[in-house]
């Protein structure tokens, strides 16, 4: 018990200290620090490095080992940069957000809200997804995050304080259903990450031609409320600037078969995620055991 408390304290101290430096350093230096931390994690975090490589081998069977190692290393580096971006969210405001984050096809939000049934925002653990939420909120859109609870309560509190400070609503998964329905009926926007293994409770769809258990949440909310779907993915350029590419608003054709609708909608946005992962493979969070329910042997 004491070792767990010590571990959680050290995790919190490291994250807090990193956030402090992220806000003290000039933005390019801070992002460079994030990249260095990510590459260091790649070297020392052997378990996650092996998971990332296993995922890449499964999804890109044609790739050689040198490519797999290179993309995995850059994925760690980009994750470190994304965490620095998140730590710097308190520095963002409506006047300077364009310096760090651009939105392409932002009319997607207006088109979705014009329908009057709310919008479900979908992205993945791709690029700088946390900064993306702040950038959307700072442009005047009422965004809410559906979030799980971190095991480390201090870290959990810090993360949600940063989100709330940016004006982002935070909905806990445990009490999610009623809150999400209420927000969507009020023509609000709910953002969810729905690209990690969901175990036996998930819906199995194709991801890179492989079976992947995927959370039903976003698709179930869409199927039950007829909310629009806004899907977008943030890409970092060589100068460290993030650009969020929004797809046109999606209004899926729904039927009387709820389970079929959930599967079809889930496949729809999973296909979008795959498209961006193929184009920018180093932007994805490959360190998660994405296929642990369907191909557990690759992690052995």
- Please choose, from the candidates 161, 123, 120, the residue with its C-alpha nearest in 3D space to the C-alpha of residue 15: 161
Residue 33: give the domain boundaries.
2-299
Q: How big is the chain by its Cα radius of gyration, in Å?
A: 19
Where do we find the tokens 């409320």?
225
pLDDT digits (tens, 9 = 90+) for 160-209: 999 999 999 988 876 667 889 999 999 999 998 989 999 999 999 999 99
The region of weakest confidence among 15-24, 110-119, 240-249 is 15-24
* Residue 121: its H or E element: strand 119-123
pLDDT digits (tens, 9 = 90+) for 127-142: 999 999 999 999 999 8
Distance of alpha carbon 132 from alpha carbon 147, whole angstroms:
15
Count of structural domains within the chain = 1
Distances (CA, A) of 106 to 140, 238, 267: 11, 22, 23
What's the whole-model pTM score? 0.93
Q: What is the DSSP letter of 91?
A: G
């Amino acid at each position: 018990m004491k070792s767990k408390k010590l571990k959680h304290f050290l995790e919190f101290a490291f994250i807090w200290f990193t956030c402090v430096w992220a806000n003290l350093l000039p933005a390019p230096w801070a992002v460079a620090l994030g990249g260095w931390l990510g590459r260091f994690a790649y070297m020392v975090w052997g378990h996650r490095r092996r998971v990332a490589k296993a995922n890449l081998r499964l999804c890109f069977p044609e790739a050689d080992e040198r490519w797999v190692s290179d993309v995995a290393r850059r994925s760690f580096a980009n994750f470190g940069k994304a965490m620095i971006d998140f730590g710097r969210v308190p520095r963002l405001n409506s006047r300077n957000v364009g310096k760090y984050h651009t939105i392409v096809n932002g009319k997607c939000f207006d088109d979705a809200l014009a329908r009057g049934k709310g919008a479900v925002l979908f992205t993945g653990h791709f690029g700088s997804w946390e900064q993306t939420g702040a950038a959307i909120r700072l442009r005047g859109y009422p965004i809410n995050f559906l979030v799980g609870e971190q095991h480390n309560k201090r870290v959990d509190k810090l993360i949600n304080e940063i989100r709330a400070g940016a004006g982002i609503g935070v909905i806990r998964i445990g009490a999610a259903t009623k809150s999400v329905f209420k927000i969507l009926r009020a023509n609000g926007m709910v953002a969810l990450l729905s690209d990690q293994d969901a175990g036996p409770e998930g819906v199995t769809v194709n991801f890179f031609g492989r079976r992947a258990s995927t959370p039903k949440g976003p698709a179930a909310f869409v199927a039950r409320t007829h909310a629009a779907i806004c899907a977008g993915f943030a890409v970092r350029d060589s100068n460290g600037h993030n650009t969020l590419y929004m797809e046109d608003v999606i209004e899926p054709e729904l039927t009387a078969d709820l389970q079929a609708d959930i599967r079809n909608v889930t496949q729809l946005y999973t296909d979008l995620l795959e498209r961006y992962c193929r184009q920018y493979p180093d932007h994805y969070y490959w360190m998660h055991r994405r296929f642990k329910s369907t191909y557990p042997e690759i992690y052995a």
